Amino acid sequence: MTDTAAIRLDRASLQLGHGPLWQTLSLVVPPGEFLAVLGPNGTGKTSLLRVLLGLQPLSEGRAEVLGRAPQRGNPAIGYVPQQRAFDPDLPLRGRDLVRFGFDGHRWGFTRDSRAARRQVDEMLALVEAQAFADHPIGRLSGGEQQRLRVAQALIGKPRLLLCDEPLLSLDLNYQQTIVQLLSEWNRRRGVTVIFVTHDVNPLLGVIDRVLLLAGGPWAVGDVDEVLTSETLTRLYRRPVEVLRIKGRVVVLGAELGGHEPLPGHRTGAR
């Protein structure tokens, strides 16, 4: 089992609408790896996750997840979707959101309610969310919601965890909490983590490799290999400077990712 790659992409291309998002992407993610996925807005980071979830077919090439073709609703995959606002009056508590990860997909009535509740409590404790577990989800802060999201994804004891911008709108304190939590699951349980982010800095101590999607071209490798002035200048086809300041990666002349690219960067990444 341990020999099977967590993810294997073989000359995979994805085209949505008018242009290609990424082309001939070949990548093997061994089990237990922590991979950060970077790239400007609209380069198909979320779509890559959707491919792995079996929700989006490839235009070309092959994809394999945990040794099989991507398959919808694979219980071995945990997913932390991008943050969304909940209606403050929505009758749903923090613990109900976590519970969805346990049996939200099952038809009919609850079979073993007590076991479910125990597991939910365990996960709430793990992400230190007991204090607000019974509050309406729509009245929790972004950081509180995000911790519940992580608990929701981990409750199924997945072997592969896909996270879509889980640090968005969190302050540094909570960013560290989430990163440490995921890193622990990654190290202790050998869970493979694919982490889409616009800022690589909070992850510098924990990631094994970086995948950079640049609107067609791509690069994968160690942080020091990929995030260099040479690689980024080649990928973006314009001068880009990468500086390391007190251990932090600072990129001048290009966006590494994010939702709201700077004006003029929308097409500049090609």
Binding site residues, another protein, CB under 8 A: 53, 55, 72-74, 77, 79, 81-93, 96-97, 100-101, 103-110, 131-132, 134-137, 139-146, 149, 152, 162, 168-171, 173-174, 258-260
CA 266 to chain centre: 22
Residue 143 belongs to what H/E stretch? helix 142-154
Least gap, CB of 153 to another protein (angstroms):
8
Q: Are 160 and 192 in contact (CB under 8 A)?
A: yes
Measured from the CB atom, the residue of 107 and 245 that comes closer to another protein is 107
Q: What would the two tokens of residue 29 be? A: 């993610």
Phi, psi at 112, each rounded to 5°: -120, 85
CA proximity to 144, closest of 122, 117, 124: 124
Measured from the CB atom, the residue of 247 and 263 that comes closer to another protein is 263
Least gap, CB of 205 to another protein (angstroms):
21
Least gap, CB of 230 to another protein (angstroms):
29
Please give the Cα distance from 137 to 94 (Å, whole number): 5
Measured from the CB atom, the residue of 157 and 187 that comes closer to another protein is 157
Q: What would the two tokens of residue 185 be? A: 């699951």
Least gap, CB of 89 to another protein (angstroms):
5
Measured from the CB atom, the residue of 23 and 86 that comes closer to another protein is 86
CA proximity to 80, closest of 206, 165, 192, 197: 165
Measured from the CB atom, the residue of 97 and 210 that comes closer to another protein is 97
Least gap, CB of 19 to another protein (angstroms):
22
Least gap, CB of 49 to another protein (angstroms):
9
Phi, psi at 80, each rounded to 5°: -110, 100
Please give the Cα distance from 159 to 125 (Å, whole number): 21
Measured from the CB atom, the residue of 139 and 233 that comes closer to another protein is 139
Measured from the CB atom, the residue of 167 and 226 that comes closer to another protein is 167
Q: Are 200 and 38 in contact (CB under 8 A)?
A: yes
∠ CA(195), CA(200), CA(202), 5° rounding? Answer: 90
Least gap, CB of 151 to another protein (angstroms):
12
